[in-house]
Amino acid sequence: MNEQSITRRSLVAGAAAATAAGVAAAAVKPALADVAPRYEASVPETWDRSCEILVIGTGIGGAAAAVEAYDEGADVLVITAAPSITENSCTRSGGWICGAGTYLQEDEGIEDSVDLFVKDVMRCGGEMGDPDIIRAVAEVSGESIDWLVDRVGVDISPRVYDAAVEAGSNSHSVPRDYCSNPLGQGGYGWMKGLQDCILDECGMEVIFDTCATKLHRNEDGRVVGASFAPKDGSTPFTVEATKGIIFNPGGLGGGFDAWARYTPIMREIGEKCRMMVSVAPVDVKGDGYQMLEDIDAYMYPAPPNYGGGALYLGDDEPGNGNMIQWVWAHEGVIEVNLDGERYMNETLFDEFYGDNKKFIDQPQMVTLVVFDDETYHKTGCQTYGAPLFEKAMEKGVSTVHKADTLEELAEQMGVPVDTFMATVEDFNSYCGTQGPDQFGRTSFEQKIETAPFYAMELNISVATSKGGCKIDPQGRIVDVKGQVIPGIIGVGEIAAFQFSGDARIHIVGGCNCPSLCFGRIGVHTLLEDAE
């Protein structure tokens, strides 16, 4: 262990401790004081296994926590429902991580600060986030990105991106977004680096394809372990965690019954929500929510972070659903419904990516992204979409189309040819003008006119569920009476609301960043609390 890494770990612990004192009281909501506890102590007579730090789930937060705990000399056991460390929502995301105060920012002369980070995230989350939680993340965000490079060995892009501007989203006021090399792989680069570090360098034990089923809380209120069920039907088992649990099970994913329970807007959508595509792994269905409720955790509603449209490539593919980013190219891209008609301003990122009632109201809740060969070869499309589009074509996915004429493209899409041709003609008529058109679009720099022509049929997706449990600035989960539950740290989507606020307003890197940071912060919290 080099001296620099020791110093950096100290920074993580120090940042968490610095915010804790001022927030302990804020974690208690007076309105919760009269809520009766529900949990019953449940401790197995004997444990099948024991470790010091038990990591449940291998999102970016759980994986980072595993490495951090290993480096601190803890006995670590990692258990995940996934078949690999790279099969998670981070891999399937756009892969952005935001952070303030990195080496890259310094090298590029970008002035940033913790205060500005907090201000930006609060604004983007509709002022619904917890400023103390956001600050706890901001204080270690830049250092954590440096840690991914220096400790984990991730090949990071050599520049800081103004991804918020590129996406048409006003979430960050200065460039502070990062992605791994090569570009266009979503979060796979981060997770592949963590996987190699955990399995190859550290040689940690990881139990795959095994679902957590129950958290065990003792008579003193401490979470002391968990029960597990292997997916192959073999014997269930229990694990004692003598110093605590890092809980990173994912969000609501494809558990649409759970979505309806925890998300008011999903109840409004009703049965239509079952037509949505989750970009989460297939095993993520909201079970973690119920497990936390069973131990009396205070749970927030989960505003859905719609993914706009997702092209599903299959469960075995890293980056499923990453096609949602194609629309970021904007120019030369239109969205049409199954009637062959445009229905939105495609250049408004938050309209496409956020609370998109327009998308939901379309026939069969389907949108078709249409573009020509010139757009296909633009830098933005090649970075964010083309590799996955090509993979879909190779796999013979029926919802991607390529044609020599627009008429042929319409026939492949199954939309009325005459209506579609009129739609494209109308769009092209605005090119070279400032509009606005009937949807308020004012950006028309490129016509759809260069063969071949392309289209993708997308279903509306739910990208992440940013609700979940209440945590304090050191990552400890808070119960329904506003008291800390000892022995467990909430990480990732299961504890995202306080950072992200109104998730329907997109924050670039707004889930990967707090997941990474609290994974590392939480390890130090557990180790210090156990002393």
- Among 439, 462, 485, the domain boundary falls at 462
pLDDT at res. 256: 72
Same domain, 151 and 176: yes
Q: Which residue has the higher pLDDT, 432 or 264?
A: 432
Residue 277 within any structural domain of the chain: no
Residue 421 within any structural domain of the chain: yes
Measure the CA–CA gap between 143 and 517, rounded to whole angstroms: 9
Same domain, 60 and 198: yes
Same domain, 454 and 324: yes
What is the length of the chain? 531
The pLDDT tens digits for 259-299 are 777 777 677 777 776 667 676 777 787 899 999 999 999 98
Same domain, 473 and 426: no
253 touches 82 (CB < 8 A): no
Residue 472 within any structural domain of the chain: yes
Same domain, 449 and 509: no
Choose the weakest-confidence range: 112-121, 275-284, 485-494. Answer: 275-284
The answer for residues whose C-beta is within 8 angstroms of residue 403's C-beta and 6 or more apart is: 409, 411, 412, 452, 453
By CB atoms closer than 10 A (0-12, 13-18, 19+), residue 404 is exposed
Q: What is the mean pLDDT of residues 371-384?
A: 72
Domain with 240 in it: 3-251+467-529
pLDDT at res. 10: 39
Choose the weakest-confidence range: 17-26, 103-112, 434-443, 468-477. Answer: 17-26
pLDDT at res. 7: 31
Cis link prior to 249 (omega < 30° from 0)?
no
- Return the HEC string of 374-410: HHHCCHHHHHHCHHHHHHHHHHCCCCEEEECCHHHHH
Same domain, 433 and 492: no
Q: What is the mean pLDDT of residues 368-384?
A: 75
Same domain, 501 and 442: no
pLDDT at res. 16: 39
Measure the CA–CA gap between 283 and 274, rounded to whole angstroms: 16
Q: What does 130-148 look like in DSSP terms, one character per residue?
A: -HHHHHHHHHHHHHHHHHI
Same domain, 112 and 21: yes
Same domain, 449 and 511: no
Same domain, 525 and 425: no
The pLDDT tens digits for 196-236 are 999 999 999 999 999 999 999 999 999 999 999 999 999 99
Residue 142 within any structural domain of the chain: yes
Mean pLDDT, all residues of the chain: 82
Residue with tokens 């949505």: 276
Measure the CA–CA gap between 217 and 38, rounded to whole angstroms: 12
Q: For residue 134, what is the domain's CATH number?
A: 3.50.50.60
> Is residue 472 pLDDT above 70, yes or no?
yes
pLDDT at res. 366: 82
pLDDT at res. 345: 86
pLDDT at res. 117: 94
Share above pLDDT 70 across residues of the chain, in percent, rounded to a whole number? 79
Same domain, 376 and 473: no
The answer for residues whose C-beta is within 8 angstroms of residue 514's C-beta and 6 or more apart is: 61, 133, 137, 495, 496, 499, 500
Dihedrals phi, psi of 191, to nearest 5 degrees: -70, -35
By CB atoms closer than 10 A (0-12, 13-18, 19+), residue 449 is middle
Q: Which residue has the higher pLDDT, 118 or 328?
A: 118
Q: For residue 366, what is the domain's CATH number?
A: 3.90.700.10
Residue 352 within any structural domain of the chain: yes
pLDDT at res. 485: 96
Same domain, 362 and 222: no
Residue 320 within any structural domain of the chain: yes
Residue 268 within any structural domain of the chain: no
- Return the HEC string of 329-373: HCCCCEEECCCCCECCCCCCHHHHHCCCHHHHCCHHHEEEEEEEH
